Amino acid sequence: MTPGFVDPTRDTAHRPWAMPQRPWVMAQRWSDLLFMHWPVDVPSLRALVPSRLTLDLYESRAWVSLASFKLSDLRPRRFPPLPWVSEFPELNVRTYVVIDGKPGVYFFSLDAASVLAVIGARTLFHLPYYAAVMRTRRRADGMITYESRRIAQRLGLARFNAAYAPTGPVTTSSPGSLDHWLTERYCLYAVGSGQRVYRTDIHHRPWPLQPAQVDLLENTMASASHIDLPRLAPRVSFARTLDVVVWSEERVR
């Protein structure tokens, strides 16, 4: 492991299913992460998610989430991170799906400030990554500023500008709660050519969530994927850091 990286595979009791038997292929760290969650109309969301995927609902409601964070320590198994490609901001728009009893995440978009990461993720994981101009910093008052502008605008204007910070102590969510349902997900799904479905397993320790405040100045990330967010304040949480390992994707048959 890289210095400071906490091996999450030593803690597995919280997982909803066993880790894959084969070795993981990639490690990474997520830092200064902001979650924003909105309930959305089920029929409208159903029309945007590939038909091979079953929407996962919480108390009959669908949810769309945005996560902004800094990715670092990105590296293949048994290799150290490379400084010029292993650290960059990333911004995700996602919803929640389930296949074969395994609840996971489906991404509408993943924006990253690394062209190499975008190319690699699109090739290896069938994920809709996009290159973006991004900037983030932690101010002296503890607020994190985060700006993103997608370079390619053919799918619609995709911009994000916010300042946020934690406002309370770290807690882990309780099984059955909404926060647990929204965050404790240990795989992601993607759909490739021919409507082939792929599952990628991940593992991390339980999310160390904190309540947060956010000043949202601009957000067109969801609308760029034709998602209509409600005119409601989002459900917000923050995580300072989380170490993650990722397995190679497998086709779901």
Read off the pLDDT of residues 113-157 as tens digits, 9 standing for 90 and up: 988 778 877 877 889 999 999 999 999 999 999 999 999 877 678
Token digits for 143? Answer: 């607020």
- For 220, list phi and psi in degrees, rounded to 5: -115, 20
Lowest-pLDDT range of 21-30, 153-162, 212-221: 153-162
* Residue 145 is assigned to a structural domain of this protein: yes
Q: How wide is the angle at C-alpha 199 spanned by C-alphas 53 and 65, nearest 5°?
A: 60
Q: Which residues pair with 92 in a beta bridge?
A: 67, 110
Q: Which residues pair with 204 in a beta bridge?
A: 244
Residues 6 or more apart whose Cβ sits within 8 Å of residue 176: none
CATH of the domain at 77: 2.40.400.10
Q: Is 39 exposed, middle or buried (0-12, 13-18, 19+ CB in 10 A)?
A: middle
* Residue 3 is assigned to a structural domain of this protein: no
Helices (H) and strands (E) in the chain, counts: 3, 13
* Residue 35 is assigned to a structural domain of this protein: yes
Quick one: which H or E segment has residue 182?
Answer: helix 178-183
* Residue 2 is assigned to a structural domain of this protein: no
From 200, 207, 201, select the one nearest 243 (Cα to Cα): 207
Task: Name the residue range of residue 243's domain.
Answer: 31-252
Q: How many domains does the chain have?
A: 1
Greatest alpha-carbon span in the chain: 51
Residue 2 has a pLDDT of 55
Could you give the CA distance from residue 103 to residue 188 in angstroms, rounded to a whole number? 8
From 56, 55, 1, select the one nearest 27 (Cα to Cα): 1
* Residue 239 is assigned to a structural domain of this protein: yes
At residue 219, the 3 state secondary structure works out as strand
- For the stretch 37-67, pLDDT in tens is 999 999 999 999 999 999 999 999 999 999 9
Residue 3 has a pLDDT of 60
* Residue 37 is assigned to a structural domain of this protein: yes
For residues 38 and 64, is the Cβ–Cβ distance under 8 A?
yes
Lowest-pLDDT range of 56-70, 92-106, 123-137, 199-213: 123-137
* Residue 4 is assigned to a structural domain of this protein: no
* Residue 122 is assigned to a structural domain of this protein: yes
* Average pLDDT for the chain: 94
Token digits for 192? Answer: 């490739």
